[in-house]
Amino acid sequence: MSTSSDTDRDSALALADLRARVLARPLPRHVAIIMDGNGRWAAQRGLPRTEGHRAGSESMKAVTRAARRLGVEALTVYAFSSQNWLRPPGEVTALMDLLVEYIQGERAEVLDNGIRLRAIGDLTRLPRQVRTPLEELCLASAGGRGMALTLALSYGGREEILAATRALVESAARGEIRASDIDESRFSRALWTRELPDPDLVIRTSGERRLSNFLLWQIAYAELFITDILWPDFREADLLAAIADFQLRDRRFGKVAAK
Ligand code: IPE
Ligand code: IPE
Ligand code: MG
């Protein structure tokens, strides 16, 4: 007869085996995740949407730990889009409160593990009680030499491209650069993600097959992995499965496959 501790041991062994297989091949340097499906997870349980967000915040912690332990260089998570401001005020407030809890609760995890926390997006729209501790932890963790963890908050890819364009035009108007100086590399350095390599792998949970304004410039050649799993159910094994799938892809970048 198998007991629940047998089952726990079997799944721990399966996870260790999957981890070892993933570590045997090159990892994606930068993994970006569209964390979707919190509302549907809650609805399936007859719970308010905010409970889905609370559960989703646990997935974010678990996946961050898993990515860091694996040795992924950069992890970017889409936590709140520019368009999400149009959700009902109660849901927006609940999400902001969860962010404050997340920042306070993860402080030790970030600092003790050398994680470099950054936030990208229009942070001026965030309430003070989010922005102050967020900026404080970003600053405190800036010297970390471990994984770069980027929170996309009040973020939109189009908004980011417009902000970069404005900055470049202003710089040209001041006579610092000429139009012909603006190449891909300079444009990338004008984006909020300037310190990061482009994502190699984009994961979207909850089965939606769209980008929803996420990192539009940066993911030109990213591999996409879409799973039906709802974000609150997403854990280390699911991250490993996505990376294992990525490791089987033939990335051609428009060229002919290398032999
Ligand atoms: C993702 O879950 C979290 C945010 C966008 C803030 P959703 O809240 O979009 O959940 P669904 O898509 O409605 O299930
Ligand atoms: C994308 O999810 C934004 C985040 C995950 C933060 P949405 O739920 O907002 O996207 P749509 O509305 O399905 O495109
Ligand atoms: Mg959604």
User: Can you spell out the DSSP letters for 99-168?
Assistant: HHHHHHHHHHHHHHTT-EEEEES-GGGS-HHHHHHHHHHHHHTTT--S-EEEEEEEE-HHHHHHHHHHHH
Domain assignment of residue 256, yes or no: no
Q: Is 36 a catalytic residue?
A: yes
Per-residue buried b or exposed e for 232-242, using 16+ beta carbons within 10 Å of the residue's own CB: bbbebebbbbb
Domain of residue 170 covers 26-34+52-217+229-247
Q: How far is the CA of 43 from the centre of ligand 3 (A)?
A: 12
Domain assignment of residue 41, yes or no: no
Q: How far is the CA of 36 from the centre of ligand 1 (A)?
A: 5
Residue 168 CB–ligand 2 contact under 6 Å: no
Arithmetic mean of pLDDT over the chain:
97
Catalytic residue among 6, 8, 36, 198: 36
Residue 36 CB–ligand 2 contact under 6 Å: yes
pLDDT band for position 218 (cuts 50, 70, 90): very high
Domain assignment of residue 5, yes or no: no
Assess whether pLDDT exceeds 90 at residue 185. yes
pLDDT of residue 169: 98
Domain assignment of residue 194, yes or no: yes
The residue-averaged pLDDT of 217-235 equals 98
Q: How far is the CA of 38 from the centre of ligand 2 (A)?
A: 10
Tokens linked to 109: 């995890």
| Chain segment 128-181, per-residue pLDDT in tens | 999 999 999 999 999 999 999 999 999 999 999 999 999 999 999 999 999 999
Distance CA 151, CA 76 (A): 6
Assess whether pLDDT exceeds 70 at residue 2. no
Catalogue the E-assigned strands of the chain.
Answer: 30-34, 74-81, 116-120, 148-155, 201-204, 223-226
Q: Which atom of ligand 2 is nearest to the CA of 231?
A: 5
Residue 79 CB–ligand 2 contact under 6 Å: yes
Q: What is the CA radius of gyration of the chain?
A: 19
Pocket test for ligand 1, best of 34, 36, 44 (most atoms within 8 A of CB): 36
Q: Domain count of the chain?
A: 1
Pocket test for ligand 2, best of 76, 212, 216, 231 (most atoms within 8 A of CB): 212
Closest CA to 152 of 73, 74, 246, 243: 74
pLDDT of residue 34: 99
pLDDT of residue 1: 60
Q: Is 10 a catalytic residue?
A: no
Domain assignment of residue 163, yes or no: yes
Assess whether pLDDT exceeds 80 at residue 259. no
Instruction: List the CATH number of the domain containing 110.
Output: 3.40.1180.10
In terms of Cβ atoms closer than 10 Å to its own Cβ (0-12, 13-18, 19+), residue 76 is: buried
% residues pLDDT > 70 (the chain): 99
